[in-house]
Structure 1
Amino acid sequence: MHRLYADHHGWLQGWIRRKTGCSQRAADLAQDTFLRVLTVRAKGIAVYLDQPRTYLATIARGLVIDQWRRLQLEQAWLEALAAQPEAVQSSPEQLALILETLQQVDALLLCLPARVRRAFLLAQIDGLPYREIAVELGVSERMVKKYLAQAFLHCAVLEAELDGVLVE
């Protein structure tokens, strides 16, 4: 692992810096990439490094995308928050908890099949009734009910995890 780090850290950090345009972010994500490799190896999963740069770039690309999504989500939240009257605004601790929860919900939605995710968002964000969702998705109302049941089940699992009820 030491050899992998010594041979490729500088290259990886430069590669990430070109992708993100930020040397500090590149340094953090390069470290996160090697941490991910260590974590995988610690779990006893074989890591074949015939092409270490390809392997590292694949992991780093995923981390860059994850960070980009988190930044987008955070920016949208901050814009929505800025539109609120001052009396409604939350403390920094509350904001951090809200952002963390939003990131978890975002990750949960990404785990859902595309149609289930779309049905859930149409119902919860757009407030559409089942009939309109069915038309939008080109499925029956019964299928919309199944999609939403699946989405709500995932939400219930997330809520239980957030409340500390479920343990991995």
Structure 2
Amino acid sequence: MTRNTANSVGFNTLYQEHHEWLVRWIARRTYSTDTDSAQDLAQDTFIRLLNKTSLYSEIRSPRAWLTKVAGNLVTDDIRRKILEKNYVDFLESMPETAYFSPEEQFQLLRLLEQIDRLLSGLRPIEKTAFLMVRLDGLSYKEVAKQLDVSLSSIEKYIAKAMFECYTLTYSD
């Protein structure tokens, strides 16, 4: 049996043994009655595995690996849905004359997703402080007062956020 055949058999066996279980696991985690969404996330999980051909034979605990990957995908999906909901709420609050074209809406949503990914490594207070300074245009002093922390803490939060953005943007 060739290596590719062995990998294919290993993947197929893993898929058949764990796919339905993974779909149910995802549906429970997302409290969703929409099985299509759980099916999609399970499929994405197995695609991640499919791209790592040498991995199937080495996985000692397939369900632990699958739940880890699927959990990350569920988190990303929830984050994306929150961003989309906030974006739609924002659009609905705008006067009709200020609406963006569908292309601009799509680009803006993708940009928001990229920003969210860049800031995902920060603690909530660091992310909030950074967004208050960069998006709301507040001074460090105003942010410190609103968040009820010291000015030096805000300076550290902003520096960490800027470093995180820089590192993720230019690390490749």
Bin of the TM-score, shorter chain as denominator length: 0.7 to 0.9
How do 1:130-145 and structure 2 match up within 5 A?
130-135=140-145, 136=147, 138-139=149-150, 141-142=151-152, 144-145=154-155
Gaps of 5+ in 1: none
Aligned residues: 159
Q: Which moved more, 1:98-107 or 1:145-154?
A: 145-154
Letter in 2 for 1:38: L
Partner residue, 2:4: none
Q: Which moved more, 1:91-100 or 1:110-119?
A: 110-119
How do 1:19-98 and structure 2 match up within 5 A?
19=29, 20-39=32-51, 41-42=52-53, 48-98=58-108
1:71 Cα deviation (Å)?
0.4
1:137 Cα deviation (Å)?
5.6
Gaps of 5+ in 2: 1-10
Q: Which moved more, 1:20-29 or 1:49-58?
A: 49-58
Q: Secondary structure at the match of 1:62?
A: helix
Rounded Cα–Cα distance in structure 2 between residues aligned with 1:72 and 1:14: 23
Inter-CA distance 51–106: structure 2 relative to 1 (3 Å threshold): same
Instruction: Supply the RMSD in Å over aligned alpha carbons.
Output: 2.8
TM-score (norm 1): 0.76
User: How far does the alpha carbon of each residue in 1:61-114 deviate from its partner, in whole angstroms, 9 at most, with x for none?
Assistant: 221121011101101001110111222212222211111110111111112355
- From 10, 13, 17, the equivalent of 2:20 is 10
Inter-CA distance 46–7: structure 2 relative to 1 (3 Å threshold): closer
1:144 Cα deviation (Å)?
3.1
Task: Indicate conservation of the 8 Å contact 2:42/2:70, yes or no.
Answer: yes
Rounded Cα–Cα distance in structure 2 between residues aligned with 1:133 and 1:156: 22
Rounded Cα–Cα distance in structure 1 between residues aligned with 2:57 and 2:119: 29
